[in-house]
Amino acid sequence: MEPKMRSQGGAAGAHHVVHAAAPINFSPPPVAPGGSKARWWGGLAIVAALAGAGVWEVQGGGPGPAASAPVALAARMKAVSEGASVAGIEAGGGKEGKAIVARHVPHKECVASAWTLARTGVVVIDGVFSQRLSAGKLADLCADGASGSTLEWYPR
């Protein structure tokens, strides 16, 4: 097969010089053994570390009062639904008298507890029910004020 030919342009009627096109090299550049894989694994490790740090931050920064309080509130509300008596949580509240009610719930505790309780029942925050729950929606519904929110849970 003949090499492709190309010409250099010029003025009209000028003499054209024809050159053979240079062959194109499609091989990848030389890489040190393991170089590209090491770079890929390093990038993956950085992404995993950032994702882990994000989850850590969302969960409250590790075990402690901030992380365990929402779980404790949800557990206390579930205990009341099973017949236990817990201070600060009322049974038989709500419009139908079937709700478990916690009043003056701080913002962060409200969001986390509502998210946990929504898996096993219906959650109403400050009298507002949302069919499409998300962390952002719960954050909007839970009050940021000093008095906190009223969290109603209707277990299934």
Q: Which residues of 89-113 are buried (b: 16+ CB within 10 A; e: fewer)?
A: bebebbeeebbbbbeebbebbbbbb
- Dihedrals phi, psi of 10, to nearest 5 degrees: -165, -170
DSSP 86: -
**Same structural domain for residues 32 and 98?**
no
pLDDT of residue 53: 82
Write out the two tokens for 105: 């719930």
Place of tokens 């342009």: 9
Contact call for residues 76 and 86 (beta carbons, < 8 A): yes
**Alpha helices per DSSP H over the chain:** 35-58, 65-81, 107-117, 135-141
Same domain, 93 and 52: no
- Condensed to tens digits (0 to 9), the pLDDT of residues 46-67 reads 888 888 888 777 766 655 444 4
Classified as helix, coil or strand, 98 is coil
Please check whether residue 122 is in contact with residue 150, taking contact to mean a CB–CB distance below 8 angstroms: no
Do residue 100 and residue 143 come from a single domain? yes
Please compute Rg for the chain using Cα positions: 32
Packed helices 65-81 and 107-117: angle between N→C axes, nearest 10 degrees: 50
Task: Determine the structural domain holding residue 44 and report its residue range.
Answer: 28-58
108 and 54 in one domain?
no
Q: Does the pLDDT of residue 104 top 80, yes or no?
A: yes
The verdict on 40 and 74 lying in the same domain is no
What pTM was computed for the model? 0.52
pLDDT at 52: 84
Query: Is residue 150 domain-shared with residue 102, that is, in the same domain?
Result: yes
Q: Are 115 and 133 in contact (CB under 8 A)?
A: yes
Amino acid 35: pLDDT: 60
Please tell me whether residues 37 and 105 are part of one structural domain: no
Q: Is residue 2 part of a domain?
A: no
Residues 117 and 92 in one domain: yes
What's the N-to-C CA distance of the chain in angstroms? Answer: 78
Q: Within a domain: residue 22? A: no
Please tell me whether residue 120 adopts helix, strand or coil conformation: helix
**pLDDT, tens digit (0-9, with 9 covering 90-100), for 85-97:** 887 788 876 666 6
Q: How many domains does the chain have?
A: 2
| Residues 156 and 118 sit within 8 Å (Cβ to Cβ) | no
* Residue 98 and residue 144 in one domain: yes
